[in-house]
A and B are shown apart, each in its own frame.
Chain A
Amino acid sequence: EIVLTQSPGTLSLSPGERATLSCRASQSVSSSYLAWYQQKPGQAPRLLIYGASRRATGIPDRFSGSGSGTDFTLTISRLEPEDFAVYYCQQYGSSPGTFGQGTKVEIK
């Protein structure tokens, strides 16, 4: 089973700042089958990025994903108030897929 480790656990930033979230896999993720989700309190997860770098429908372009192999990054270029949430990565190269433990982006 591929284990995903996200860092940092918590990121304290101010609106307007840039957020960089990391997701590291215990082995190579085939074909960059890596997705990112956002989850706000009391809500279901929402797909942000799939295929490591492709934005899902309706996702603002301040969200971007990059990486390949074992190292992946989600970048939020300028944090908006609604972006403070928990973010999860998920690999889907080996079904049914595994999630990272999450990174919380909180207001500083």
Chain B
Amino acid sequence: EVQLVQSGAEVKKPGESLKISCKGSGYSFTSYWIGWVRQMPGKGLEWMGIIYPGDSDTRYSPSFQGQVTISADKSISTAYLQWSNLKASDTAMYYCARRQNDYGDYWGQGTLVTVSS
């Protein structure tokens, strides 16, 4: 069974750094792109960027380039999304998804990130 399990909810202060994770199982982790999706409170879905764990090829949506860093450790089948300088506007639910031909066929349960002073 394909599963993506994300790390737990986080509460941070503006200016802090954060790294959240997404662990894949039940499939060949290095053979599929993983994407990260942001959903701000009460809003829709936005692809932030994608990574191919097989070779760490990473691509960012223009709105998120330079704002976050996506990485992966294929030895432990885990992808990451990190921030170095959180803002209140980063408060959102973040999902990882396995990309099958560029659509998300399996999704993690989501990680809620709250940034507040």
Q: Write out the residue numbers on chain B whose beta carbons fall within 8 Å of the beta carbon of A99.
A: 44-47
CA distance A96 to B45 in the complex (A): 13
CA distance A33 to B100 in the complex (A): 12
Known: A90-B103, A96-B61, A97-B103. A45 touches B95 (CB 8 A): yes
* Pairwise interchain contact B103-A35, C-beta atoms closer than 8 A: yes
User: Which A residues contact B (CB, under 8 angstroms)?
Assistant: 1, 33, 35, 37, 39, 44-47, 50, 56, 88, 90, 92, 95-102
Interface range on chain B: under 10, 10 to 19, 20 to 34, or 35 or more? 20 to 34
CA distance A42 to B107 in the complex (A): 13
* Pairwise interchain contact A45-B103, C-beta atoms closer than 8 A: no
In the complex, which residues 66-117 of chain B have their Cβ closer than 8 Å to any Cβ of chain A? 95, 97, 100-110
